[in-house]
Structure formats: C-alpha cells, structure tokens
Structure 1
Amino acid sequence: MNVIGFKEAKCKNCYKCVRNCDVKAITVKDAQAYIMNDKCILCGHCLEVCPQNAKTLISDLERVKGYLREGYQTVVSLAPAYLGVLHYNTPGQVISALLKLGFTAVRETAEGAAYVTREYDNLIAAGEMENIITTCCPSLNDLVEIYYPSLTKYLAPVVSPMIAHGKIIREQYGPNVKVVFLGPCISKKREAESDPRTVGIIDAVINFKELEEWLLEEGIDIFKQPDTPPDNPNPLVNRLYPISSGVLSSVVASKNTSDHYRKFYVHGINNCIDLLESMNRGEITGCFIEANICNGGCIKGPAIDRTRISRFKVKLDMEESIPKAPITEEDFFTKSPIHFDKFFLGRSPKDPVPTEKEVMQILAKIGKTKPEDMLNCGACGYATCRDKANAVYQGKAELNMCIPYMHERAQSMANFVLDTTPNIIIIVDAEMKIMEFSAAAEKYFRTPRSVAKEMYLYEFIDHSNFQAVLETQKDIIGKRVIYEDRNLATLQTIVYSKEQNCVLGIFQDISHQEELDRKAYKVKVETIEMAQRVIDKQMKVAQEIAGLLGETTAETKVTLTKLRDTILNDGKPYDIF
C-alpha cells in the first residue's frame, strides 16, 4: 500500500529525500525517487524536506466524505494532539465542528490510550521482560521490525491507542460502524489499512490539515461552534500521550509504580536509532522506554504544519491544563473481554550483498580507484562511497548520483568540446566579461584562453550583437559578420541563457566560402560583360545586314518591274518621255 506519492514531473536529480532518509528507504530510477514500501517506516521526513513538493500524502478524505453521504454510522477517533495543534476557544468547539460535518459521534483516542496504559502497567507489574519499549508509534515499531529484528522481543506486545480505541468503538457501536481516525500521523494509515494484524479495525485515517481544509470548504468556523463534550468518559492523564514523556506520565500516575524498571523517553529518529544500537550491544537493561520517531512526540507529526506551532509551548500548555490524575477501574473501563495484544516479529528484507571485487568494479565506473578518490561527501544521500556502491549493486541507486563524478565528467565533456570544435565559442557574462574561450577562438583571435578570460569582449571585437542579445533576450541565428582587420568572415549564432544570465556565441569560419563566393561573383560579372559585348556586336552586324538587305531589295524591285513591263508590252520597251 502506498501512503506517500510522488509527482514525477517535479522530482529530478535532487536526492534531498535520499540524504534525509535515515533508513535509506528511497530508490532512484531514471533520476526519479520512489519509496520502497518494504523498507519505509513512514517517518515523513521526505515529505518535509522535498523542495519541489514532489511528494504528497495519499488521502482518505474522499472516502470519509463518501461514508457520510451514504449515511453510514461514522465515529471519529480524535487523537489528543488536537488539544495542542488546532485553534479554538474551548476544546468542545472542535467536537461541535466535527459533528456539524455529519459524524455520528466524536470520541477521544485518549480513551484507547487509557486501556493501553493499563496493559503497560500489567507488563511492568509482571516484570518478565528485560526491557519494555512502548508500541504506540507505528514508525518506531517498523524501525525495530525491519532494521533491528533481534530487538522485537523488547517491543511491548500491545496495540497502539488508535487500534485499542477502534476495538472499543466497534464493541459499543456494532461491527457495521465506520471508524475514522483523525490525527497528526501518516504511519497510522499503514497500521490501519495494510497491517494484517490490525487491518479492518480502522476504516480511514485523515489528518488535521485535511480537517481544516474541509471545514473551510464547508464554511464551518470552529470559533463559532458551541462547547460540546466528547462521547467518552474523561481519560484524564492519558490525554498527555502525544507529548514527549506523555506515556511515562500516564504509567507513573497509575497504581503500579513500585517496580524495578528504570524509565526514560526517547524521541526523534536519530535518537531512536542510537538507542536501538545501544540495546543491540547489550548496554540497556531493566528499562521501560517511551519511544517516538517524531521529535517532541505526536504534536510534531509529519501531517502537521510545524511552522505554526511550538512543541515546547504545546508541551507546557498541555501539561498545565491536563491533570495527571489516574483513572479507576469502576468509573472508566468496560467489562467486555476485548483483547489488546499484538505481537511483533522481524521482517528485515534480504538485500543481496556485493563482494569486495564487485564493490571496487562499481566504484571504478565512477572514477574511484584510489583511497583519495573516495570523497565520502554524502551528496548522493549515502554516507560513504562504499555505501553508495552497495546501493547501486542492490538497485537502490544509480551511478550518476555521484555529484563530484558527474561534475568532473561535465567539465571534461565541456573542455573536450571547447578544445576540439573547429568553431569559435565565446561565453560572456552580463558585464561582457569572457567566461569561456575555445581553442579555435585562441587561434583566430591570437589570444590565449587564460588571457582572454581576464578580458572583456569589447576589448578585442565588436560586442554590439552580444549586448543586443543580452538586453532583448532574443537570439541571433546565422548572422554574417566580417572582421576585416583579421581577414575573417563568420556566420554567427548568439543565444541568451536565462538560467546563467550569460550569452553564448558560436562563430563558424566562412572565410574560405566567402573567397569562393567572391571568385564566383567575379566570374559572373566577367561573363555578363562578355555577353554584353557579344550582344552589342551582334546588334551591329544585324544592323549592317539590314542595310545591305535594304539596298539589294530596292535593286531587285526595279529589275523585276522592268521585266514585268517588258512581258506585258510584247517585248516593246516603255516609251521614254
């Protein structure tokens, strides 16, 4: 099941999510990042750090709206984090707003937390586990099951407050009720909808941000709602679950405090990893540990706009407003035999491990053959070059994710082009200072690259075309420019780069072609002149011929006339007057 989605059009060659994923559960294929569901613990860090908002949370909101439209009996399990995250005058206004949306009832998840506290209390009283790690946080549970499978024996075999509450609601409202969890956590979606041990208890999961957008869409103002209590008995101290040390506060407030377990809390994924590493080394014994992946607890969950709240202020406010009084069996717990147990097992994926030879072959492909080549810069998202090579072997990473290698390769290709192209290439910045100068430019302008890159373009050629392109941002394509003083004719293409705010000029030497064109033009002119002379001569001859023809025609006419008259007069000559 996918909980986090990616917008491929926006995700390209960034790797920020890989760098910030502490368990490296993101694979990169064709420069696009993808979540590896079997390795992801849904901490939500990739959602938070993505600079392009390319990662999105797959929402259940439309499903919930569908339940209400179709008339299902739908109950909200409201995570106690609402007390510190949402804005209101009284907490009951939030309950009223949810009821106005159409929900059948609103109950606080802290009700389920009270049952979980009782289970923890029983485990502490039994004293059979060497260490007890709380299992309220699905992301922490995933971290242990996937990456520290040998430590699953320390996970308290108890469901989360959300699952416990879902069971209670179904017991009270019947099997056909729709249960919607509303909270700050994204890992609850996987726990509710794809964990075979808990699937079917919670029908949908939405977060506080989605609720606020929904209320805005429906025109419901929380501040204008009446103060309505939730439909559950008062869970008292168990409302502190979402803040750091909240679980410990609930356990300590219970009756079984005279136990041999040392108690402490650990929040934040790096701190949790440090704890688990320490436990792997056998350094932690006899402890009851509240563990949460999010820094500050659930009030800083990934589905919360963290810029709007201070976890320190929320913690202080909730601790001051929520009494740390324990609840009693008689006035709170139901008598129904609901089971709240959940057992955890290792499910670490089996990735192939490359041999030393295979690692070195992969490193060699990106120019890393010596110890000094191993920069271990971490730009690709992996701590060391060897870690990156392992990821490439396992199909999680790509060779070209190595930024230094790609930079050197790009520079090498750029230098190859500059050194080998027969065309003149000149790049200038907005001040017309030369940034690049090809080998052909050195030859034609008789200026070394090192010298040229300290000069401005206008110091040795007319820069007006470059300046025009810079100011108008309109490219010049195929313009003929001749430098008479250098006996050089060029065909120029000059383009503007918006990203770099620079101008690139490519000059093709057409001097030889210009000479051929000049000679061809001279031949054409000479041919035309010769043709004109022939025409003039022909005209003269024609005129002479015409004159001769005219005289001959006149003589012939006289002779023929005389011949005709002679015949007509029987050979007598004309009378002569």
Structure 2
Amino acid sequence: MTLHRLIYTVTSDCFDCYKCIRECPVKAIRISAGRAEVIEELCIYCGHCVEVCPSGAKRVRSDIDRAKTILSLRSRVVLSLAPSFTAFFRDISPQKLINSCRKLGFHAVSETAVGADIVSEKTREILAEHVEQESGRLLISSACPVIVEYISRYRPDLLSYVIPVGSPMRAHAEYLKSVFGYDTAVVFAGPCIAKKKEADHSGGVVDLALTFSELGAWMEEDVVENYPSKINSNGVSFYPSRSSYGSLYPVQGGAIRSLESIGIPDSWVCESFSGITQIAHALDGLDINSLNIPLFLELLACEGGCINGPAFGSCRGSLERHLKVLSYAEGASKKPIKYALSLEVKADGDPYIEPPISDDEIREALRSVGKYTIEDELNCSGCGYDTCRAFAEAMVRRRAERSMCVSYMRKLAQKKANALLKTMPSAAVVVNQELKIVECNSNFAHLWGTEIEGMYGVKPGLEGADLRKIVPFWKAFKLVLDEQGPELVEEDFKVGKRIIHGSIFVIERGAVAGGLFQDITVPWIQRDRIIQQARKVMRDHLRTVQKVAYLLGENAAEMEATLSSIVESFEGENHG
C-alpha cells in the first residue's frame, strides 16, 4: 500500500503567516510559491506545526480507512491504547471506552503501559549491567520516537547512548503477538504523530498507529450509537489486566518514577527534560567524557510529556491532564507483567548533513532583500527565522523566498507607492482621520500655489501638514472619513476662478482617505474633457445604430424566410 506524506499542507488554506517556520524546532519547512511544505528529510514528526497552524492548513495523514481494512482482512486485531487515554477521553470510564472499541471490531483492548512496564524492566537490567561492567557514563531513554528521530538526524554523536530497547508501543505489540499469535494484527492509538512513522517502519511488529483524534472521530462517524458516552459498562477490562507503573510514562519524569518503583542502582543519576528546544539547550556542551557519575536521561519531545502530544488539540489544560494520569495510575497493578523482550532494537542513524554555504552567498542573499550592513539586519523574526542571516541561509538553500522578509516587502511597497505618486499626472494626496497629510505628490503642491510648492520643496510629501489650511473643501474628506460616510465623493469644486474636479475615496474606513484632483479650467484639461465627452457620445450613438441595425436585420431575415417558404409552396403546386 502506497502511503501518503505523514504531514502535508493544504495549499489553498496556507496564508503566508510563517508561524510553522517560527515554531518548528528544526526549521523543517520550505516556502515555495508562498506556500509552506514539510521537508521530510529534516522533519522529526513532532507535529508542532500541525498544532500551531492558525488556518488548519497543516494536516496529518488519516489512517482510519487502513484500520477498517485491517479489521476486515485479519481474523484477530488487538488495540494497544496509550496510557494518556485517560486524559484525552477524560469524561468516559475505561470500561465504556473498551466496550466501544470492541464494538468497532477489535478482539481485545490492552494498555500500551504494559509495554512500558516491560521496557522499564529491560532498562533496569541494562542500567545494572553498565554499573557492573563500567561500560558507559550515559544512557538515553528510547521511549519517545521524536527524540530518537531528533538524535538520529541532528545529534548522531549521541546515537550510541540511546538504549537498544524499543518503545513501549513496540514492546507491547511484540508481547501481544506472542500471546495471541503472530498472525494477530496490533493497532496502536495515542497522542503522538511520530508513532505513525514508527509503526510504518517497525517491520510489521506494529501494523498501524492511529491518533486519539482519529479513534474518537472513527467512533463518532462509523458507529455513532457505540460512542463511549452512550455505552454502558458491563465489567469488561483491559487485556490481560491493568498495567503497573508504566501508566506514569505520559508525564515528564514518569519513566524515571517507573524505574525507581522496580529498583535501579543508586549510582545512577536520573534527569528528565521535555520540549525539543529545552532538550537541545540541555545537550549543548555536554561533555560525556567529563561525567564523573553515570547519567540516565529521560527525554520527551512534548513539553510536560505525552499528555501534551499534538493529537490532544486544545482540550483543557496540561495540569488537568497531568492530574488525570496520576489519579488513574494510583489504581495500577502492583505486579507488572513479566516478559523477556526477544528483539534488541537499536536506533538507526540517519544524520542530515547540510552542504556548506559561503559568506559570499549569504551576503548576496542579504543584499537581495536590501540588507547591506549589520544595522539593516533587524532580526525581527517576521519571516519565521531567528536572524536575518538564518533567513539568508534558507534562501540560499531554496527553502525561503524574498517576499517572506517583512521589512523588505514594506520598503518595496513604499517605493512602488512613491513612484506611482510621483509619476501620476493628477494631483494626489493621502490623509489620516485627523486630516493630516500622510503623503502627496508635487502636482498636489503645484495645484495650491507657490507657497505650498515651497513647503513641498523643503519637506517632500508634506507629511504632517494640516489639510484644512491647504484645501478649502476639506469637509469632503471629513465626510468620506466618517464611519457611516460614502466610500467615494466625486465632485467639481469651485475655488476662486478655477474649477477643481476631485475624486475623494476611502483607503481604510474611518482612518485613511485619498484624493485625486484636476484643475479642469486649464485649457488642455478642457480640451481633453471635450474629447472624452465627444467620444462618449460617439460610442453611445454607435451602440444605438448597432441595435437598430440588429433589429432591422433580424426582421429582414424573418421576412425573407417567410417569403421564401411561400414561394417554395407555390412552386411545388405548379410542378404538381
């Protein structure tokens, strides 16, 4: 089966906000023709761009149809439910949720936290072995697929320190297949987008991964009457039983607490960090050779843990989710399931190495957006990059476009507007709601005499000048600037012996208005207006003549057709 891109963009909904670039911890976004797309070879599948996209243009591949296909083709399908389910399906009892999933067609529902218990036990063994053999000073948890992806791509120097144990999802799937038979399909459901990729590349250990959002939508869409809130509890429970301390894995520090509950060597110091940015800062400058104590790191890509995974959306706050998980964990089994993992899963290295860029290329890219000196580099982050230099690098790598630079586009727009004002044959002016001039051209200054022309020579554009002291019919501007006023006033204004034809219009309702003026008493203007009016009369006359000709032609054609039929009729009779 051909799989679509895991995270993709609906281009018609992408509106140049660059928020995905700004929020992406590894800048795995490319802008092409003004639209954002994920760069797969850089992406770590944290799903943060999906969360923050204000227009919902970033989407995640839906696998509901694949799940239905698996249920229809396989004789036994078991659902592995991530331990953060209690925070997502917060108003539904576990028994109702299990019943609802069973009615969808799943043979059994089991807690992924069972796999977390198995991983904790295996991790404890590895920690103990390292102490005995003194074979290492650092070990990193492999529970979070985003972290494994991040280390693989961006910190390959740390890849050998990731413990060779699969994630709880993978360990749980292996356990379930050993119990039910290896022809059993295992479908996972959780809050993580990266689990989809992990399942796709698990070699069939995990057949499919869904998000909680997909599972909820599936239950609502396909079996409305079976949605959990409408299902009665009849005493069903998770297979084979409740998990143990593995149910703490969704919260930051939960894996460490799970390890401590089963006992780990005292010599190990355990630390937990969450959030890619915070983890990157924590790992920067880490000198492993200088560690004088063995260090175990629990790293989680989502801040606060899996309870803040991208599939949670905006449902309630993280504190409530945290408390939900802790409350549910209090009733956990005190006897974790024992299972010896048969597979040693090592993280594969897939580092991304950027080709070098010369300073000349960066300087040329900066010059292309009008940044010639350090002072020109505002580092405003409007483009989504932290610095102008980082933006220039992205342009050289063809991931960014000049139009993303806000200051460049503002200057470009200003230049175009200024050029248009200067070359416009009419007198043009722009004013604000206080009737202060924002901008005008030389023709406007010339229209009002030598004194105003002199002011324009001193201060081109007359910015800040009071329109009421220059234009006698300023009340027309006031009318247009009124919130309830007309959008356009077109009128001939008598000013002394002159007649000024003006078009005054709204630029921004209640805030900015513009005006175009011509002195129509000037001979060449009069001549042009006469020519215009004459052409208008000629066009109107020509249209009238064409209408008459059309009607005459239509009547003539009808008459000709009638007479022809009569002649043919009589000719036919004579022939007979």
TM over 0.5: yes
Residue 222 of structure 1, aligned match among 210, 224, 228:
228
**1:68, CA displacement in angstroms?**
3.7
User: Which sits farther off after the overlay, 500-509 or 386-395?
Assistant: 500-509
Give the 5 Å matches for 1:404-423: 404-423=407-426
- Identity percentage of aligned residues: 29
Shift of 1:515: 3.0
Q: How does 1:204-353 map to 2 (within 5 A)?
A: 204-217=208-221, 218-223=224-229, 224-226=231-233, 227-255=235-263, 257-279=264-286, 286-306=294-314, 308-323=315-330, 332-334=337-339, 338-353=341-356
- Number of the residue aligned with 1:111: 114
**Residue 388 of structure 1: aligned partner:** 391
1:450 is aligned, of 462, 472, 479, to 462
* DSSP-derived class of the 2:44 partner: coil
**1-side partners of 2:421 and 2:249: how far apart?**
64
* Residue matched to 2:552: none
Contact 1:267 1:292 in 2 (8 A): yes
Q: Matched residue pairs, number?
A: 510
Q: Deviations over 1:512-542 (max 9, x none)?
A: 4443279999xxxxxxxxxxxxxxxxxxxxx
Taking a change above 3 Å as real, the CA distance of residues 500 and 209 of structure 1, as seen in their structure-2 partners, is farther
CA separation of 1:504 and 1:62: change in aligned 2, threshold 3 A: farther
When normalised by structure 1's length, the TM-score is: 0.80
Looking at structure 1, the residues matched to 160 and 497 of structure 2 have their Cα atoms a distance apart, in angstroms, of 84
2:20 corresponds in structure 1 to 17
TM-score (norm 2): 0.80
Question: Structure 2 unaligned runs (5+)?
Answer: 533-576
Deviation (angstroms), 1:56: 1.5
Structure possessing the higher radius of gyration over alpha carbons: 1
- Give, in angstroms, the shift of residue 204 of structure 1: 2.3
For residues 143-178 of structure 1, give each alpha carbon's deviation from its aligned partner in whole angstroms, at most 9, with x where no partner exists.
Answer: 111111111011111111111122222333334433
Q: CA RMSD in A?
A: 3.1
The alpha carbon displacement at 1:378 in A equals 2.1
1:240-269 CA-to-partner distances (Å, cap 9, x unmatched) read 1111111111111124x2342211111111
1:333 Cα offset (Å): 2.8
Question: Cα offset for 1:426?
Answer: 2.9
- d(CA) in 1 for partners of 2:205, 2:244: 24
**Alpha-carbon shift at residue 431 of structure 1 (Å):** 6.6
Distance 1:175 1:410, change over 3 A: same
Identify which range, 157-166 or 272-281, moves more after superposition.
Answer: 272-281
Q: 2:396 & 2:156 partners in 1: Cα distance?
A: 23
The structure 2 residue matched to 1:8, chosen from 3, 8, 11, is 11
Which residue does 1:526 correspond to in 2?
A: none
Corresponding position of 2:186: 179
The equivalent of 1:516 in structure 2 is 527
Is the contact between residue 74 and residue 184 of structure 2 (CA under 8 Å) also seen in structure 1?
no
Tell me which residue corresponds to 1:505: 515
State the Cα distance separating 1:71 from its structure 2 match: 6.7
Q: CA deviation at 1:21?
A: 1.2
CA distance in 2, matches of 1:281, 1:481: 82
Contact 2:378 2:388 in 1 (8 A): yes
CA deviations over 1:356-379 (Å, ceiling 9, x no partner): 222222222222222222222222
Any conservation in 1 of the 2:114–2:244 contact (CA below 8 Å)? no
Secondary structure of the structure 2 residue equivalent to 1:340: coil
How many angstroms apart in 2 are the aligned matches of 1:427 and 1:515? 26
Q: Does 1:203 align with 2:207?
A: yes
Which residue of 1 is the match for residue 428 of structure 2?
A: 425
Query: Aligned to 1:107, what secondary structure does the other structure show?
Result: strand
Deviation readout 1:330-349 (Å, 9 max, x if unpaired): x83357xx523221243222
Q: Encode CA deviations 1:269-315: one digit per residue, 9 max, x unaligned.
A: 12211222133575655211111011111111011024x33333333
8 Å CA contact 1:434–1:456 kept in 2: the answer is no
Aligned to 2:567: none
Q: Which residue of 1 aligns with 2:545?
A: none
Residue type matched to 1:505 in 2?
G
Q: Which residue number corresponds to residue 62 of structure 2?
A: 59
Question: Is the Cα–Cα contact under 8 Å of residues 489 and 514 in structure 1 kept in the other structure?
Answer: no
**Letter of the aligned partner of 1:423 in structure 2?**
S
Preserved CA contact (<8 Å) 1:88 1:222: no
Moved more, 2-11 or 15-24: 2-11
In structure 1, what is the equivalent of residue 543 of structure 2? none
**Unaligned ranges ≥5, structure 1:** 522-577
Which of 161, 169, 176 lines up with 2:168 in the alignment? 161
